[in-house]
Structure 1
Amino acid sequence: MEQDGASHDYSVTLFQEYINTGQEPDFITQIELHIAIKQLFMFIKKNELIQDEDLRDYWLPILKGISKNPP
């Protein structure tokens, strides 16, 4: 989306330090991320912000990603 010739980057990079140094976030930070992601998807489902089928399409890859290397 551009306005007045300005472009905006709305992407989010989690754990920039990990990308820069390869050092994983501490245990507490990883747990907090898991909880936040779960709460976000529970909120989306509860408020029916997107259809269940679409929610699964987003949730399953994220769940697989965070389950591969549990804290």
Structure 2
Amino acid sequence: FAEAIFEGALARGLIARAPTVEPITTADYPTPAKRPAYSRLDTGALERDFGVVLPEWQAALGSVLDTLSADR
């Protein structure tokens, strides 16, 4: 996700240079809370109960970055 943010910000001229992102595993960043190996937000109930369909994260990120670049 961080790499996508920097790539999109760079493409829109929000940053001059994207920093290097060093990927790490959960084991490399220990926290007191136990974390599942795989988790993702299930929006099925939101869609079923309220008819709200969230955009894919890539589209939502693009929209946010477009708004930030328009405000410059």
Return the TM-score normalized by structure 1.
Answer: 0.30
| Bigger relative CO (Cα 8 Å, ≥ 6 apart) | 2
Structure number having the greater strand percentage: 1
Structure with max Cα Rg: 2
Structure number having the greater helix percentage: 1
